[in-house]
């Protein structure tokens, strides 16, 4: 068995002939936290969907636990997905179920455990995210940060080997942000799982990740440990890590010369 | 707890729906009146049945005694062969007269039986020989117009 | 000039192809729903829950409308029948109109407006908030868990609602015809019974409403499932549900009626 639980091999993906990814290679070692970073619209979330088998690659392949994801039939795909847990950007809690039932959902769907054991499992997971007391609330009564923690409890309800996080820090206040940050690290260690974190928040990602990929223009622009990337002198990496306004990624959307544009006085 | 109240409501809904279906079948429809119990079958030939339909009532003295079972076209006599199912409780004499009547001016058509004087009763599979056709409105009207026309012609000739 | 015409034609062609594409997708979706139905039957409480949301929640609007439709039918019918001196036939008129046509059709139209839109909006919202994706990632098929129970709930609810509609409509007609106008009580019911056929009228009415149930629920589910995952997309899908369901019901009604009458 390979050391990498997920491997992305020369992957290309695009809609209607326009490629979003052009030959991406990544590997995710067991037990590590790996961050995939990149600007908005660089196809980071799409990568997660490719790993989860919700999309089929145009070229190349994704291997999960040694199996090619897009070659699986429905049954095989569902078996692979049982090894994965995914935290969606805004939690994606089932709005018609209570917090308790949301966490119990994957357990009820995939096992025939008696109610008392389900209750114990749900309580353990909710306790781990600190929301055991909120079990009877409905998702609409939760704040954004709480909803994401419940979703996290649900994602790890069946102790997955791979946990994927889609923008877990977006729209959170600083406290919720560091709470979530800590949780990801803690759960990763407690479960012995591999975590794949998709984000554009440099500070949080660098704080928890063992390894970081930076994606831009459909390719892996840079990769390395957080420390390594911080030291990098490459202009793009420097701009991305430090959030400079102008650099290889220009501030201006491509436009004709400013002076000429102003002097012309009309658009035609 | 919530689930049990939902179950209750769904139960009420299903029961009410089933009751409505049953009500439609019994009270509104003719499911109850259609099975008249045991019947015997007789046939009758008509030159013209008008708008008579299968399942139309068979009445005698205004009482429903049976139903029209089937209507066929006899290719030998070029007549309509109407099969009637009559309740076993109502025997009719052999020389019973079968008419096709219309209920009201525009109502549906039914078969009327008028008992004759024969001592022997109609048996299963017998044929009623005395029949009278349905009144066809168009025929009546054209006859009327024809008569009128010939009347006026007569008048013209006498003038 | 020629270019403009060619452009128009191309636009029309694109739209037609797009419609066909969606129709094909809808048929495939219907097929999947049937295939996954087995899984949803094993969790019967899901279907019962949805019968509550589609059937029971539609009861009030269906019953109130039925009552008024029946009363109006009796009033209008009496006015016309009385001219021909056959006002006792009012019961037949009310019952036949309701059982054969108005019961199934109006119930389906109201159902599309009440339950259909709710289904589309709910599923569209589940898609927008990634709940369906989350289910997929949990190795649970949304078609088995979300779509199939709603589908069967709709198919079961519709004939029951239509039967209730017809029954309450007839009661409404009775209230206007007998106590209000003064048609004979016995004539009202006996004429009705003599002229409403169980097979030709009542069973066919039930068949109609079951077909409408399949059509309305399927359209509502597909529109929700196919909605672009934005607020605007969901609201448009909801509108499409009402428009497409109504057209489908009226079109199917014509086809079914012509089959049943011949």
The pLDDT, as a whole number, for residue B104 is: 66
Beta-carbon contacts of residue A142 (< 8 Å; ≥ 6 apart): A93, A99, A134, A150
Phi and psi at A133, nearest 5°, equal: -75, -15
B66 shares its domain with B104 = yes
CA pair distance B136, B109, nearest whole angstrom: 11
For testing the chain C interface, which of B6, B12, B13, B25 should be mutated: the one with the most C CBs within 10 Å?
A: B13
Q: In what order do the strands lie in the sheet with B127-128?
A: B127-128, B39-46, B79-87, B63-74, B57-60, B109-114, B97-102, B130-132
Q: Does any CB of chain B come closer than 8 Å to the CB of residue C254?
A: no
The pLDDT, as a whole number, for residue B1 is: 40
Q: Among A192-201, A214-223, B129-138, C161-170, which is the least confidently predicted range? A: B129-138
B47 shares its domain with B120 = yes
Q: Among A118-132, A209-223, A241-255, C191-205, which is the least confidently predicted range? A: A241-255
Task: Using alpha carbons, select from C48, C55, C156 the residue that is nearest to residue C111.
Answer: C55
Beta-carbon contacts of residue B123 (< 8 Å; ≥ 6 apart): B40
- Closest residue of C to A154, CA-based? C138
Q: What is the pLDDT averaged over residues A249-256?
A: 74
Mean pLDDT of chain A: 84
- Closest residue of C to B57, CA-based? C194
B10 shares its domain with B47 = no
Q: What is the ipTM of this complex?
A: 0.80
Residue A54 has, within 13 A of its CA and on its CB side, a CA count of 20
The pLDDT, as a whole number, for residue C232 is: 92
Q: Does any CB of chain B come closer than 8 Å to the CB of residue C163?
A: yes
CA pair distance A139, A94, nearest whole angstrom: 7
Greater pLDDT, C96 or A231: C96
Look at residue B154 and tell me if it is in a domain. no
Tokens read off for A242: 């430090």
Q: Does any CB of chain A come closer than 8 Å to the CB of residue C145?
A: yes
Within 10 Å of residue B120's Cβ, how many Cβ atoms?
Answer: 10
Q: What is the pLDDT averaged over residues C141-167?
A: 92
Element of type H or E holding B97: strand B97-102
Angle separating helix axes C103-111 and C57-81, nearest 10 degrees:
140
At A64-95, the pLDDT tens digits run 888 888 888 888 888 888 888 888 888 889 98
In this prediction the pTM is 0.78
Look at residue B27 and tell me if it is in a domain. yes
B66 shares its domain with B23 = no
> C138 vs A109: CB contact, 8 Å cut-off?
yes
Give residue C200's pLDDT band: very low, low, confident or very high (50, 70, 90). Answer: confident
B7 contacts in chain C (CB < 8 Å): 48
Tokens read off for A37: 């970073």
B54 shares its domain with B74 = yes
C166 contacts in chain B (CB < 8 Å): 20, 24, 28
Nearest Cβ partner for A92 among C130, C139, C140: C130
> C194 vs B24: CB contact, 8 Å cut-off?
no
**What's the structural domain count of chain B?**
2
Look at residue B150 and tell me if it is in a domain. no
A195 forms beta bridges with A33, A163
At B37-62, the pLDDT tens digits run 678 888 888 888 877 877 778 888 88
For every residue of C187-225, which 3-state class applies, written as one string? HHHHHHHHHCCHHHHHHHHHHHHHHHHHHHHHHHHHHHH
CA pair distance C25, C31, nearest whole angstrom: 10
The SS3 call for residue A169 is coil
Buried b (16+ CB within 10 A) or exposed e, C22-43: eeeebeebbeebeebbeebeeb
CA distance A49 to chain C (A): 9
- Closest residue of C to A94, CA-based? C131
Task: Using alpha carbons, select from A143, A118, A140 the residue that is nearest to residue A130.
Answer: A143
> C140 vs A106: CB contact, 8 Å cut-off?
yes
B76 shares its domain with B135 = yes
Look at residue B118 and tell me if it is in a domain. yes
> C99 vs B24: CB contact, 8 Å cut-off?
yes
Beta-carbon contacts of residue A161 (< 8 Å; ≥ 6 apart): A5, A30, A65, A83, A84, A193, A194
Give residue B24's pLDDT band: very low, low, confident or very high (50, 70, 90). Answer: confident
Q: Among A76-80, B109-113, C196-200, which is the least confidently predicted range? A: C196-200
Task: Using alpha carbons, select from C236, C37, C245 the residue that is nearest to residue C128.
Answer: C236
Element of type H or E holding A62: strand A59-64
10 Å CB burial of residue C73 (0-12, 13-18, 19+) is: buried
> C134 vs A109: CB contact, 8 Å cut-off?
no
B28 shares its domain with B54 = no
At B112-148, the pLDDT tens digits run 888 888 888 888 888 888 888 877 777 778 888 888 8
Q: Among A52-61, B148-157, C183-192, C199-208, which is the least confidently predicted range? A: B148-157
The pLDDT, as a whole number, for residue A65 is: 84
Tokens read off for C138: 């949990």
Look at residue B153 and tell me if it is in a domain. no
Give residue C240's pLDDT band: very low, low, confident or very high (50, 70, 90). Answer: very high
B60 shares its domain with B136 = yes
> B3 vs C85: CB contact, 8 Å cut-off?
no
CA pair distance A59, A8, nearest whole angstrom: 11
Nearest Cβ partner for B29 among C45, C59, C193: C193
The pLDDT, as a whole number, for residue B50 is: 79
CA pair distance B105, B107, nearest whole angstrom: 6
B56 shares its domain with B121 = yes
The pLDDT, as a whole number, for residue C233 is: 93
CA pair distance B80, B134, nearest whole angstrom: 11
> C197 vs B30: CB contact, 8 Å cut-off?
yes
Q: Among A119-123, B151-155, C203-207, C220-224, which is the least confidently predicted range? A: B151-155
Q: Among A6-20, A134-148, C113-127, which is the least confidently predicted range? A: A6-20
For the cut 70, the answer to whether the pLDDT of residue C262 exceeds it is no
Domain that includes residue B2, residue range: 1-32
Task: Using alpha carbons, select from C169, C89, C200, C158 the residue that is nearest to residue B23.
Answer: C169
B70 shares its domain with B136 = yes
Nearest Cβ partner for B104 among C86, C160, C198: C86
Look at residue B117 and tell me if it is in a domain. yes
B54 shares its domain with B117 = yes
Task: Using alpha carbons, select from B149, B78, B84 the residue that is nearest to residue B112.
Answer: B84
CA pair distance C242, C248, nearest whole angstrom: 10
- Closest residue of C to B12, CA-based? C56
At A37-73, the pLDDT tens digits run 887 777 888 888 888 888 888 888 888 888 888 888 8
- Rounded-to-10 torsion of CA B52, B54, B56, B59: 90
Look at residue B149 and tell me if it is in a domain. no
Within 10 Å of residue C222's Cβ, how many Cβ atoms?
Answer: 26
B1 shares its domain with B62 = no
CA pair distance C262, C255, nearest whole angstrom: 11
SS3 content of chain A, % helix, strand, coil (to 5): 40, 25, 35
CA distance B153 to chain C (A): 35
Phi and psi at C153, nearest 5°, equal: -60, -45
Q: Among A131-135, A239-243, B45-49, which is the least confidently predicted range? A: A239-243
For the cut 70, the answer to whether the pLDDT of residue B34 exceeds it is no
Q: Does any CB of chain A come closer than 8 Å to the CB of residue C167?
A: no
Q: What is the pLDDT averaged over residues A131-146?
A: 87
The pLDDT, as a whole number, for residue A1 is: 47
Instruction: Give the largest Cα separation in chain A, rounded.
Output: 77
Task: Please give the C-alpha separations between residue C118 and each of B12, C151, C220, in angstroms, as whole numbers.
Answer: 22, 13, 8
Instruction: Kindly state the percentage of chain C with pLDDT values over 90.
Output: 55
Q: What is the pLDDT averaged over residues C218-247?
A: 93
The SS3 call for residue C139 is coil
Q: Does any CB of chain B come closer than 8 Å to the CB of residue C202?
A: yes
- Rounded-to-10 torsion of CA A215, A221, A226, A231: -150
The pLDDT, as a whole number, for residue B32 is: 53
Q: Which residue has the tokens 């020389």?
A: B95
> C139 vs A93: CB contact, 8 Å cut-off?
no
Q: Does any CB of chain A come closer than 8 Å to the CB of residue C197?
A: no
Instruction: Give the largest Cα separation in chain B, rounded.
Output: 99
CA distance B145 to chain C (A): 24
Nearest Cβ partner for B108 among C55, C166, C195: C195
Look at residue B155 and tell me if it is in a domain. no
Phi and psi at C62, nearest 5°, equal: -65, -45
């Amino acid at each position: 068995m390979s050391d990498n639980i997920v491997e992305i091999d020369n992957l290309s993906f695009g809609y209607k002939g326009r490629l979003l990814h052009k030959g991406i290679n990544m590997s995710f070692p067991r037990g590590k936290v790996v961050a995939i970073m990149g600007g908005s619209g660089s196809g980071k979330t799409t990568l997660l969907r490719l790993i989860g088998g919700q999309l089929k690659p145009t070229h190349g392949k994704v291997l999960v636990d040694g199996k090619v994801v897009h070659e699986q039939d429905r049954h095989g795909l569902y078996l692979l997905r049982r090894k994965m847990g995914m935290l969606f950007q805004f939690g994606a809690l089932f709005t018609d179920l209570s917090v308790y039932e949301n966490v119990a959902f994957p357990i009820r769907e995939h096992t025939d455990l008696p109610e008392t054991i389900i209750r114990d499992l749900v309580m353990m997971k909710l306790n781990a995210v600190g929301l055991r007391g909120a079990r009877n609330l409905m998702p609409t009564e939760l704040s954004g940060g709480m909803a994401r923690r419940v979703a996290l409890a649900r994602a790890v309800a069946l102790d997955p080997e791979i946990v994927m996080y889609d923008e877990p820090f977006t729209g959170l206040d600083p406290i919720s942000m560091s709470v979530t940050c800590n949780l990801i690290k803690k759960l990763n260690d407690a479960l012995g799982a591999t975590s794949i974190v998709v984000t554009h928040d440099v500070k949080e990602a660098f704080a928890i990740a063992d390894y970081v990929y930076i994606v831009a223009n459909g390719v892996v622009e840079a990769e390395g440990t957080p420390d390594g990337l911080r030291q990098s002198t490459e202009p793009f990496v420097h701009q991305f890590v430090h959030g400079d306004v102008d650099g290889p990624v220009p501030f201006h959307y491509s436009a004709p010369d400013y002076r000429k544009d102003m002097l012309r006085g009309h658009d035609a | 707890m919530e689930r049990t109240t939902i179950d209750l409501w769904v139960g009420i809904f299903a029961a009410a729906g089933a009751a409505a279906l049953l009500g439609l079948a019994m009270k509104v429809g003719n499911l109850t009146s259609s099975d008249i119990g045991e019947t015997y079958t007789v046939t009758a030939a008509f030159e013209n049945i008008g708008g008579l339909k299968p399942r139309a009532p068979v009445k005698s003295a205004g009482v429903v005694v049976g139903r029209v079972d089937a209507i066929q076209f006899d290719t030998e006599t070029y007549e309509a062969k109407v099969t009637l199912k009559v309740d076993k409780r109502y025997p009719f004499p052999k020389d019973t007269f079968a008419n096709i009547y219309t209920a009201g001016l525009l109502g549906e058509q039914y078969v009327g039986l008028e008992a004759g004087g024969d001592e022997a009763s109609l048996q299963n599979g017998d044929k009623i020989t005395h029949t009278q056709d349905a009144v066809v409105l168009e025929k009546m009207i054209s006859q009327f117009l024809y008569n009128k026309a010939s009347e006026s012609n007569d008048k013209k000739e006498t003038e | 000039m020629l270019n403009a015409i060619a452009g128009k034609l191309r636009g029309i062609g694109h739209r037609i192809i797009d419609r066909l594409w969606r129709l094909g997708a809808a048929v495939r979706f219907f097929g999947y729903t049937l295939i996954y139905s087995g899984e949803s039957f094993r969790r019967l409480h899901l279907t019962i829950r949805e019968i509550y949301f589609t059937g029971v929640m539609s009861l009030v609007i269906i019953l109130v409308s039925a009552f008024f439709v029946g009363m109006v039918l009796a009033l209008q019918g009496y006015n016309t029948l009385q001219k021909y001196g056959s006002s006792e036939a009012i019961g037949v008129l009310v019952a036949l109109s309701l059982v054969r046509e108005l019961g199934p059709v109006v119930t389906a139209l109201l159902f599309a407006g009440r339950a259909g839109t709710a289904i589309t909006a709910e599923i569209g919202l589940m898609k927008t908030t990634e709940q369906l994706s989350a289910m997929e990632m949990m190795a649970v098929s949304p078609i088995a868990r979300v779509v199939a129970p709603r589908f069967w709930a709709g198919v079961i609810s519709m004939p029951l609602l239509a039967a209730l509609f017809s029954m309450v409509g007839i009661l409404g007609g009775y209230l206007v015809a007998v106590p209000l106008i003064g048609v004979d009580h016995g004539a009202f019911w006996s004429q009705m019974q003599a002229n409403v056929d169980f097979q030709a009228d009542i069973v066919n009415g039930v068949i109609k409403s079951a077909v409408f149930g399949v059509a309305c629920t399927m359209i509502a589910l597909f529109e929700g499932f196919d909605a672009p995952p934005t607020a605007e997309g969901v609201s448009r899908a909801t509108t499409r549900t009402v428009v497409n369901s109504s057209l489908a019901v009226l079109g199917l009604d014509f086809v079914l009626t012509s089959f049943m009458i011949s």
